[in-house]
Amino acid sequence: MIKVACIFPGQGAQYMGMGKEIAENYKVAMNIFDRASEKLGIDMKKLCFEGDEEELGKTENTQPSILTTSIALLEVLKLKGIRPNITAGLSLGEYSALVASNAISFEDAVAVVKKRGKFMQEAVPAGEGAMAAIMGMDKNEVVRCLKMASGYGIVEPANYNCPGQVVIAGHTKAIERACSILKEKGARKVKFLPVSAPFHSSLLKGAGTKLSEELEKVQFNEMEIPVVSNVNAQIIKDKYEIKKLLIDQVSSSVLWEDSIRKMIEKGVDTFVEVGPGKSLSSFVKKIDKNASIYNVEDLESLEKTIENIRERLECV
């Protein structure tokens, strides 16, 4: 029997028109966009399908938009009889994973992530924080180089995405210095990211404090499907652990590579990226070349995924 993990993307995966094709063809998907619109008091369909890219790119809009699109796509997968055995999401995507596991209602999640986006955006004044992706260098060597730049300010690993790719975050001057050192030490590529704040660094602890107040209002349930946490790459034990992990997640490194390895350890052989983009699929390919990897973001990818998974189920 194959074991399926649904994985959900985070901020940066958004694009204009995401979810439109699926929503226009499946009522269960359109219903999710309607529910998000009603909860937030904004036209989520207009924002995602035909809105302004600048408006969609605002963190407090991006986060609920990606969550809504991801859950709309998941509902169609469930309609087609495909349900995950385990789930995880990159940063923001962890909220989609928690919705998929019924640990949190969709309405609560979409409301929380809108505020989460606002808190993260406001945590550091514009221009004072930055992020950069480092390619082609061992993660331990990256950490050593960051220590050499720490005299210029806070600079920390933000995402351990896959072998040979680490994202760093911190004060702009410290990031610039770290990037120079990393190039000198042999990093294959160093790329500044177009983000508005140094996500997943200690500079965002204030955002975590504000988020804590919002999470107090949320009812968490026991998970029906296991969820792997970004913070420690472990399966979340129970509903009482969720809130602290979500608070810590804002200012902690995302252990994505280790999270994928945890799911593989638990027998996962099939990964389905559910949501806009294919970034997570590319990370999984670099982590495990033997895994079967699919993505669902439009009708073509949906049909291909369903066909492939059904064929594999019939062969077992």
Task: Give catalytic status of residue 171 as yes or no.
Answer: no
Active-site position among 101, 171, 200, 253: 200
The three-state (H, E, C) secondary structure of 18-42, written as one string: CCHHHHHHCHHHHHHHHHHHHHHCC
Active-site position among 91, 251, 252, 253: 91
Nearest to 294 by CA among 64, 31, 77, 37: 77
Instruction: List all residues 6 or more positions away from 182 whose beta carbon is below 8 Å from its beta carbon.
Output: 134, 137, 142, 145, 190
Task: Give catalytic status of residue 91 as yes or no.
Answer: yes
Phi, psi for residue 141 in degrees, rounded to 5: -70, -35
How far is 301 from 299, CA to CA, in rounded Å? Answer: 6
Q: Are 223 and 128 in contact (CB under 8 A)?
A: no
Instruction: List all residues 6 or more positions away from 16 whose beta carbon is below 8 Å from its beta carbon.
Output: 48, 49, 50, 51, 53, 56
Q: Which residue has the tokens 């260098």?
A: 137
CA 291 to chain centre: 20
Which residues have a catalytic role annotated? Answer: 91, 200
